[in-house]
Amino acid sequence: MKTVQIEKLSHFINGEKVEGKSGRYGDVNNPSLGVKIAEVPLASAEEVGEVVELAKKGFEVWSKISVARRMEVLHKFRALLVENTDKLARLTGKENGKTIDDAKGEISRAIESVDFALGAPHLLKGDHSVNVGGEINSYSMHKPLGVVTCIAPFNFPIMVPVAMSTMAVAVGNAMILKPSEKVPLSALLISELWTEAGLPAGVWNVVNGDKEAVDALLEHKDVKAVSFVGSTPVAEAIYEKGTKHHKRVQAFGGGKNSMIIMPDADIETTVNSFIGAAFGGTSQRCMAISTAIPVGEKTADAFVAALKEKIKELKVGTFDDESADFGALISAESKVNVLGAIEKAIEEGAVVAADGRNPEVAHEDGFYLGATLLDHVTTDMKIYKEEVFGPARIVVRVNTLEEAIDLINEHEFGNGVTIFTDSGSAARTFTENIEVGMVGVNVPIPIPVGYHNFGGWKRSTFGEGQMFGPDTVRFFTKRKTVSERWFDTSYNESKTDFSFPSS
């Protein structure tokens, strides 16, 4: 692989950039060009322990600051995200490979989660009851947990870390972010924006690393909660290890998201929706549509024929190519894995309707694949069972809506699903009977807005609580309930009462 001038990166700890001590580094690539652009330090368990101690001190300060003052910092942070959108988008494209437009889209969703966190003063309000019995008043409050951590994926270097962490900070916790070692540049820039917004030292920290750092965070007694986004096998491992060490854990895994196409759906509208939802972001989205399920052979033939023509128009290019529909995969390894999935599917009997294995690109060293569509896929094929994180999408043909629903419900994943139809009856049958966490009707990617909860079912999510929405407050706080009574000066308790308290 060609190399350019290599930047030596750092961690962000206690309000400043800190060089790594472990002596271990990972490579950061520009996927568009296929070149190494930086080296990121991989923290040791000892380094993680040092960061936790500093975060505890940051928590002591931040948790005692008024909610109003915290909101001032969040308002400034939001303004800085808006002001630096172009810079963030370009940096994201450089290290992730996604197009600038796609990067700006994820930044807008990140800002949406900050908007929701600005409602923390209302969301933190507890309950209050007067004279519940014996002149006793009862009230409850939300208290921050302490030091919490977010372990973020490579595919959304801005949106996921911000969405996972902003409410945690807003309610008074100290945060340790462990970004994907493939995309550390965005996390470091976010850190600078938090500092510029006025967040006290130690409240926001970035520890770069691999499994050693993750294990140290999961095992440390003073890390109270863990939020994770990644693949299902890793999500399950994070959940099991985190809960073993008595932590609150939410771990979001992968998906095999389907689009059901009913015979009454408008084919052109459906195809356009599928194209963007299936291949946008080079299909490296946990909510990407991976499986088209047309109902009836006539519907399937029309859908596939129209889709093949649309795929021919797609352009793959560098992150800063304004004419590109999507960019490169994150790594050479990812490209090999997607090619392997395609070849295995063909071996098992899938029919290649559109072949993107050799796209025309300006930079041949980049990690590029074009859009590939495999038709006549069956449920016993590996490509149907497993998530493919790249632009290889499949068509599974069924005869009825009920058959489609059964297929989806029997799958181990339950992240997202959608139906395209003009029938209210079909839509209602679908939404009531589908066993999936996020459901769309004529909406290609049913990701909820920032003030609704985000999360899948079955093996797409482990643990309690969801990302975005009101669940973020519940996950990152603990409830305290107070019962109080004030005696007047003439009060005199006449006897000791050993009965269980009641009204």
The rounded mean pLDDT for the chain is: 92
pLDDT at residue number 167: 94
Overall size of the chain counted in residues: 503
pTM of structure:
0.91
Q: Which residue did the predictor score with more confidence, 182 or 453?
A: 182
316, pLDDT greater than 80:
yes
> Could you report the per-residue pLDDT of 118-144, keeping only the tens digit for each?
999 998 888 888 988 878 889 888 999
Return the axis-axis angle of helices 67-83 and 100-117, rounded to nearest 10°: 170
96, pLDDT greater than 60:
yes
Helix intervals (H) in 65-132: 67-83, 85-96, 100-117, 120-123
What superfamily would CATH give domain 257-441?
A: Aldehyde Dehydrogenase; Chain A, domain 2 (3.40.309.10)
| C-beta separation of 426 from 401 below 8 A | yes
Query: Which regions of the chain carry the CATH code 3.40.309.10?
Result: 257-441
User: 141 by DSSP, 3-state: which?
Assistant: strand
Percent of the chain beyond pLDDT 70? 95
| C-beta separation of 151 from 230 below 8 A | yes
What strand order describes the sheet that includes 248-252? 16-18, 11-13, 204-206, 174-178, 147-151, 223-229, 248-252, 461-463
The stretch 164-174 carries a mean pLDDT of 95
Instruction: Determine whether 150 is an active site residue.
Output: no
43, pLDDT greater than 70:
yes
Architecture of domain 3-253+460-481: 3-Layer(aba) Sandwich (3.40)
> Which of 286, 287, 329, 404 does the annotation list as catalytic?
286
Distance CA 250, CA 475 (A): 8
Residue 391: exposure state from Cβ atoms within 10 A (0-12, 13-18, ≥19): buried
Query: Which regions of the chain carry the CATH code 3.40.605.10?
Result: 3-253+460-481
| C-beta separation of 13 from 43 below 8 A | no
Q: Which residue did the predictor score with more confidence, 286 or 329?
A: 329
